[in-house]
Amino acid sequence: MENFIRPDFDEYFLKIASVVSERATCQRHHMGALAVSDRRILATGYNGAPAGLKDCLELGCLRNELGIPSGKRVEICRAVHAEQNVIIQAALHGVSIKGSTIYCTHSPCVLCAKMLCNAQIKRFVSFGRYNDDEFLTLFKEAGIQFELKNPPSGSITFLK
């Protein structure tokens, strides 16, 4: 196949996180996340209302209605963040994410960063920046490596 460039693992997992984000029900940001260890996906998560509850697609976005800017008053949002859902899904299925890498479409808010510190991840890789950089101080203190990459290609190459 001419001109085919095989993606490295970071691009590969960021592309998968992008696909996961398509399940999000948030009207502001579609976020997807993966926990990966030894090149194996342990859990996935996207942002949306708690399982079985009405979401923003059905009810509308309360933060938009109140004019709350991104990165502020996150407690008003009804969504569970993608990173939170990765941690929850791993826990529900008895999978430890200790020492793993989280691939996420955006950098974490400070609340998610605290949870990721407690989950003892080692690395966080993203291509998008959330409107809050408070996580950087926590990650540095916890020894979590943060890497901001270029967005992955939006196309998928199939052999014919």
* Active site positions, annotated: 83
- Token pair for 1: 């196949």
